Structures are given as structure tokens and as C-alpha cells.
Structure 1
Amino acid sequence: MNTPSSSHSSPPDLLSVVPPITFCQVCGKDGHGKHFGAITCRACAAFFRRFGLQNNFKPCKKGAKCGPPKNGWFNCKSCRLRICKEIGMTSDNFQYDRDSFTFKNATTCTKLQKRIPPSMGSFLGRPNLIMYCAPDPGSIDENSKYTIDVQFLIDRALHIMEKGSETPIYAPNSLEKLALGLQQIRGPPAKKVKMLSKIGQEEIFALWEDDMLKVAKWFTYFDEFQRLPSKLQLDMLKGVWNVFGRLERLASTAIARQQNICGHSVVMSTVHDDHVMCDIKNVEVDLSWCSRYTFEQLKFFDSQDHEKQLDLIVQAILDLKPTDVELSYMLCQLCLHQVGKKYQGEILEVTDRFQDVLSDNLHDYYTNRQNLTKYSLRVANMMKINNTIEQCIYRDKVKSDLFRVFDVFYVKCSHPDLFLNA
């Protein structure tokens, strides 16, 4: 075997291995690779890609003599960019127009969209569901609908408020007087309870009447409310009667469950001195007197699990175990907040003033009656229950708006503001 002569061998310096650069030539940290003509880390490469063409930095305060970075950190962006250019980083390899949202591609998409004919929904500006299922607003004849006259109910409520409380009651403050009034409107404890298997026109009208007159009677125990003009009292009554009934029924249901009178998914209420309850899972709801749709069909507009929501709120009330004073405060806060948000203006000023008075009364009740100095947790739990009910009210308002769009009911009320939630 012939060995190669020395004349054909490569020079020693060409065979020597050049050690690779493993550190960033800009900041000295671990390098990632070659970026824009130099070995850099990802941070310095991103810095140069962003600022390589646009040098909008303020001049170096030390006259471009900041020196090398300390532990890889630069205090001066201008000097960092200067070092990038000194080691040979160049913007020649910058790539542009790679994003799908660039002007060029956006123009192409715009041209393509013009070639595609618009759908009926986008052309008319209405969703397909409303366009094909809901009637045209101009075709709805309000005169063809039956009118439910509730003027007699409003007159009875006004008479109750003008008459005042049935018996003079002395209490240290307005909140505790309202608590005594709450006991009066609830009546004696339930001895016999009627189970409703069907809810129709008669039951709904009785429930409306009982809620309206009950809250009117309860407000007669509120001295500050009694000093308001009659028109202002009526406007506030219209805005709170339905809200009051929600929490009052839930509280009655919680008491009934605590006494083992009713179980889960069952709601209890008092209607004309009669204690009634119904199972929301099995009750039959007849809407033939007011709608062309059945109750099951109207569930299409509502995806909420009412049974689960009911149990959550009732359980929260059971865990809290509010006294009559605390429940009165919860009722006032919920009602006053809703009616103030609904009407604004003068009524909002009145409700804010009432809430301040009742908050002071609640503080006095905790500190002087209950000897509690730290009661913030109880108030927070009370407001949590009220906030959950307010969310339910908002969902019902959205559902009512959908009912109006689809013209679900063929009846109307002589006083529509009675059923407009805040």
C-alpha cells in the first residue's frame, strides 16, 4: 500500500477545526443559531427584526458608550441596535407579506366576497330564524289582541297604600318595622297546603293579584315610602311587585323545606291566605288563553335549567338562615335596585336615599341587637343571593323581548309597564 507523499497532503492549518460560536454575539447569552447574518439568541434576533429598519429610539445618554451588556441585559436600545449592525446583522433577508391578513390578501378576499351573492340574512340584516319564523313587525295588528284590564288591581293597591298599615306598629327603625310588616303579610304558619297540578289563567291571575296587593301592604310599613307623592308610590310599585314576589316565594319555599313540608323542585307560596305549592317538574301549564303555542314549545326560547337554579337559590337561603330583618333588607335592596335602574331620574335618587337609610338600620341591628361587629360575610352572602336573582330577571327580560319579536302572545295588558323588568 502506497502512503501518500507529503506533497499531496493538506496543510495543517486547513485541517484544524474552527470552534463553533455557541454564544449570542450581541448579548452573550446562549445562541440559537444564525439570524440575519450573525449568531444570536432568539431575543436579539426578534429585536433586530422589529427595529432593524426603524430606529425610533432616543439618542444614547452616554454618547454611544454604554459598553457591553450586564448579564445579557441592555439599558439602551440604541446601543443594542448599534452592536447588531456592527457584528454584521443585515436586513437583506427580511421576509414580507407572509401573513394572511396583509393588504394584498385582504384585497383578494374582498374581490372574492363581491363575487359571492349575499345570503338573505346578510342582505336584510336579520337572522334567518327571525326572518323565516317571526312575523313582520308591520303585520302585527295590536288591535286584534285581547286586552287584560288591570286597572281595578292598581286601584286596590292605591287604596291600600293610602289607607296605611292596619295597626300602628312601633319599631326602632324602618327596617325592623318592615320586618314586622313581613310577618303580617305572610300570615299564620301553614297548617294545610294545597298542591297545584295545573296552572292556567285563573291561577296566574290570582298570583298576580296576590303579589301586587301583598307588596302594596308591605310598603305601608315603610315610613319613608309613605311620605312620597301618590304618583311616585304607584310608579315604584309597578316596578317592584314582580321582583318582590320572586324572592318572597323562594324564602317561603326555603322555610317549607326546612320544616319538611315540601321537597326538591317544589315551590311554595301564599295566595289569598291559602298555602299552595307546585312541582315545577310535573306541573301542567295551560297557556291556551294567551298564546297559540304550548308551554313545551316555548321552552325553545329558554335553555336554563330552572329546577337546578331553584335548588341552588333555596339552598343558599337555607345555608344563610336569614332573620326577618335580614330578609326585609334583601327584599328592599333587590326591589329598590331594580326600580331605580328601570326608571332612573327622580326615582333613582329616592331609591339611593332609601338604601342608605336601610343600610344604616341594618348596621344598627347587627351591632345593637345581635352584638355582631363582623357581619360582612353575612351581607356578602345576602348580596350573592340577590345577584343570582337579578341574573334570572335579566334572562327573563331577554326571553320576553324574544316573545315580542315572534309575537308569541295574542293578549296585551292595559298597563304594559307592569310586566317590564328592569
Structure 2
Amino acid sequence: MISQKLLAFLNKQNEDECLCCGYIGKGVGVRCQVNSCRPCANFFKKTIALGLEYRCRRGNQQCEIKSGTQKCRFCRFQKCTKAGMILKIKKEDCKENESKKDVSLMKNINPTIPSTSSSEYSYNENSSDDQFYLKETQLYIKHHKVVEIITAIISGPPLLTLNSIFNPIYSPTCLQRMAICLQQFFDKWEIKPKEEIKINTPISFVDFIEFRTQSFKFHAEILMSLSEFNRLCHHEKTLIYRKFWPRFDEFSNVMLALQIFGYEGETCMIIVQNDQALEIGSDNKFPDKFFTEDPFERRTIMRHDFEFYMTELYRPFKKLKLDQIELSYLVTQILWSHKRRDDLSESTFCFMDSILKSAASELQNYYIYEKQIDNYSWRLVEITKYLAVLTQSATSIIDNIIKAKIMGQFGSYKWFPNNTVLCPLD
């Protein structure tokens, strides 16, 4: 009879070994075209998708990569490459020209990735994960371009001049300029008429993120349309943009829906595409399916966002019914009102205070002389409360990013490097 030790030895001989970290076990299989364990394969995929660059921990590029020990990421990726790891994708998910362009962009993002022939990116009939993985990778590449565009916009000249927009005889006030820029911002979304919008039709999560990614560019454009913002240096423009976009993004989501669907009725609307919207009735019943690929973890995260949007942002704002000047005042507060000084200079902080004082005086005159409201303090209090809710919502965005990262959502950690989808220019 064969002894137990000999039997264990024979079984171990039959088990495959990871060519990257040396792990031996039943979890080793053919991944990325070589025998590898799941952690090494995922590490290789993530590195290529995000274009990550590593440095050797010891500097000699000869670190030992061994299962069960802390691994140098630079040497680990080099070993994966030498072992022959190749990322397979489905070519039929995109046009042939776009596929070649995406692969080229991925190489440009990470110069350490070796050159590979087109035959290596072959069709894998059994790899359903690669199909969704490719789509998310393409979205990351598109966002990489968006970040470059944002940087170019902020670094460039003013997008609009007074002579090209306004009547040269008439000099608009601070809030009037903001009102014009806001209207141009909403027009850029090109949302279809109400009658052509599909309600509660499941949408791909990646398509939803791609649609929302447009807002980063639009945020930069509205800021560069303001003469006050253009007076700042590039460093301070970037700092203010980082603070501005999370709060303004929540506000713009509400306004975008209200401009299309109006202030009447009890339903809550969320624009998810230029021709699609999510409707939540007065009974707070959510659609059975948000996205075409809708795992429980993602649904849990998004449901919390939608509930906050519905109860704290959409419905209170709908009841308030702010006019254009009041909306402009709210956005002016979002842009120039900062609790912390950060790295802004003293002169810039004084400049911001002067803008806020001017906007407050203009709003007061508007209430007294145009709207002829004696007791307007209630509306000011409601605007201030709403501003606080927007700040709270911006904070919750970061919390949800952390939750999504822990649960492996938003593309398996693909949105959390520098220049991330949710935090551009960080």
C-alpha cells in the first residue's frame, strides 16, 4: 500500500505551480495564457488597465517574488511579463480601429509594458469577464483624455469674453454673469425633450459613469467663463476646481432633471443618459433593476446615493423653486465659500470674500427692489441649509468611493489611482 506521505507527495507533484510567485495548489490555472494564481493574474490585469508604474523597493530590481510574503510590485510585474502573461480581450466589443487605438493608448500610459503583436490580443470565447473588463479599460482611457482636457482648459485662456457674450453697453453684475454661464452649462448636456426620454430602462453601469464623466469638462468650462476665476494662477484654479466640482455636481444633477421634467408632481427624476432617466415615485419604490449588470453590492451603494439625492437634494430644492438670480447666488457660494484656507494665498482669500460680499449685496437689492420681499430671511436660510446639504453630499461621495473600493465595484479598483474618475486633478 502507498503510504500517506508518498500519496501526499504524488498529489503535490500533480498540482500546478504559479510561474510568477511559485504558489503550488489547486487554485493555480491558466490565466493570461500562463499558469498563474488568481492574485498574480489580477495584479497583472490591474497594472495594465490603470497604466501603473512601480519602483523597485530595494532599487536593484532583483527582489524575490515568493508566495506568502510581501512582494515588490515592480519585480512582481516584471516576473509576470517574463513568464509570458498576456491580457486577452474580445475584439467584437468595439470597432477594429478603436480597439487598436485603445491598445496603443494603454502602452503609452505605461511605458514599462512590452510591445505585443495584435495576434496576442486574441478572441477568447470562454472569457466573459474580459468583455466587461475591456469596456471598463476603454472608459478609463477615455477618462485619461478628459483629465488632460481639463488641465488644458484650466491652463488656457478664458473661454468667453464680455464682448462676445454681453452687450458692451450693458455691464452685467456678478450674479447675472453667473446666470448666463449656468444656462450655457445646462445646454451643453444636450438632453432630449421630455417626450423622447425613456423611463426606468436599465442602463450599463459603465455607460452611466461615462455619461457622468462629461460633467468634469463642463465644470472646468463654466469656471473659465468667469472673469473672477481667470484672475487666479493655475495652482489656485486647480485647488478651487477640486473643491467646486463635488458640490456643484450634485446641484447640477437636480437642476438638469428639473429643467426637463419641471417642478410639478411628486416623482423624483434622475438623468442617467441624454435620453434615459430613472423615476422614483412618491412611494419611494425603486426600480427592480438599475443597471444591466447589477450585483447586490453595487445596487446597495447606488441605492443609498439615490435615497440621499431624493430626500435631501431633489425634493427640498423642488419645493424651494429658486429663480435664476437665487440659483446664481447659490453657485457663487459653492465656488467661493471655503471653510479651510488650504494652499490659497491671503490675497486670494480676501478676493473671494469680496466676491461673496458683492453677491450678498446684489441678492439683497434684488429681493428688496425687484421682488419687493420684505422678509426674505427665510429664503436665505433655506439656501444656506441647502448649501450645507451639498457639502454633506460631497463628503459622502468619498465615503461611497471607499465602500465601492472595498466591495470591488466601479471596475475592480480601476477608479482609484491618480486622475481617478471620481476625483479628477487630485
What is the aligned partner in structure 1 of residue 363 from structure 2?
Answer: 365
Residue 418 of structure 2, aligned match among 409, 415, 420: 415
Paired residues of 1:239 and 1:418 also in contact (CA < 8 A): no
What is the aligned partner in structure 1 of residue 246 from structure 2?
Answer: 242
Letter in structure 1 aligned against 2:269:
V
What is the aligned partner in structure 1 of residue 165 from structure 2?
Answer: 168
Residue 193 of structure 2, aligned match among 191, 194, 197: 191
Paired residues of 1:177 and 1:221 also in contact (CA < 8 A): no
Would you say 1:202 and 2:244 are equivalent positions?
no
Paired residues of 2:198 and 2:276 also in contact (CA < 8 A): yes
Paired residues of 1:160 and 1:216 also in contact (CA < 8 A): yes
What is the aligned partner in structure 1 of residue 388 from structure 2?
Answer: 387
Give a deviation string over 1:276-333, Cα, whole Å, max 9, x none. 4223622744486xxxxx4422455688483475145323223222112211221232
Secondary structure class of the residue paired with 2:197: strand
After TM superposition, the score normalised by the length of structure 2 is 0.53
1:177 Cα deviation after fit: 0.4
Structure-2 separation of matches of 1:308 and 1:397: 14
Secondary structure class of the residue paired with 2:278: strand
Structure-2 separation of matches of 1:283 and 1:178: 39
Paired residues of 2:193 and 2:260 also in contact (CA < 8 A): no
Secondary structure class of the residue paired with 1:282: coil
Secondary structure class of the residue paired with 1:172: coil
Write the mapping of 1:86-97 to structure 2, written as runs, cut at 5 A. Answer: none
Letter in structure 1 aligned against 2:244:
V
Would you say 1:278 and 2:278 are equivalent positions?
yes
Cα gap change, 1:344 to 1:300, in 2 (>3 Å): same
Would you say 1:265 and 2:230 are equivalent positions?
no
Number of residue-to-residue matches in the alignment: 274
What is the aligned partner in structure 2 of residue 43 from structure 1?
Answer: none
Give a deviation string over 1:103-158, Cα, whole Å, max 9, x none. xxxxxxxxxxxxxxxxxxxxxxxxxxxxxxxxxx9x99497352224342133334
Structure-2 separation of matches of 1:313 and 1:378: 16
Write the mapping of 1:280-359 to structure 2, written as runs, cut at 5 A. Answer: 281-282=286-287, 284-286=289-291, 294-299=294-299, 304=304, 306-307=306-307, 309-337=309-337, 341=340, 344-346=342-344, 350=348, 353-359=351-357
What is the aligned partner in structure 2 of residue 157 from structure 1?
Answer: 150
Structure-2 separation of matches of 1:232 and 1:142: 37
Paired residues of 1:268 and 1:278 also in contact (CA < 8 A): yes
Cα gap change, 1:246 to 1:351, in 2 (>3 Å): farther
Paired residues of 1:238 and 1:418 also in contact (CA < 8 A): no
Paired residues of 2:269 and 2:278 also in contact (CA < 8 A): yes
Would you say 1:402 and 2:403 are equivalent positions?
yes
Structure-2 separation of matches of 1:155 and 1:324: 32
Paired residues of 1:185 and 1:218 also in contact (CA < 8 A): yes
Q: Which runs of 5+ in 2 are unaligned?
A: 1-38, 51-139, 281-285
Query: Which structure's relative contact order is higher, taking Cα pairs within 8 Å and 6+ residues apart?
Result: 1
Structure-1 separation of matches of 2:152 and 2:362: 33
Structure-1 separation of matches of 2:346 and 2:423: 17
Q: Percent identity?
A: 13
Q: Which runs of 5+ in 1 are unaligned?
A: 1-136, 289-293
1:178 Cα deviation after fit: 0.8
1:180 Cα deviation after fit: 1.2
Paired residues of 1:199 and 1:284 also in contact (CA < 8 A): no
Structure-2 separation of matches of 1:398 and 1:189: 30
Letter in structure 1 aligned against 2:418:
H
Name the Cα RMSD after superposition: 3.9
1:250 Cα deviation after fit: 0.9
1:267 Cα deviation after fit: 1.5
Paired residues of 2:159 and 2:224 also in contact (CA < 8 A): yes
After TM superposition, the score normalised by the length of structure 1 is 0.54
Q: Structure 1 segments of 4 or more deviating over 6 A?
A: none
Cα gap change, 1:349 to 1:393, in 2 (>3 Å): farther
Letter in structure 2 aligned against 1:226:
N
Structure (1 or 2) with the larger CA radius of gyration: 1
Letter in structure 1 aligned against 2:159:
G
Paired residues of 1:175 and 1:325 also in contact (CA < 8 A): yes
Cα gap change, 1:346 to 1:386, in 2 (>3 Å): same
Structure-2 separation of matches of 1:346 and 1:263: 43
Cα gap change, 1:265 to 1:214, in 2 (>3 Å): same
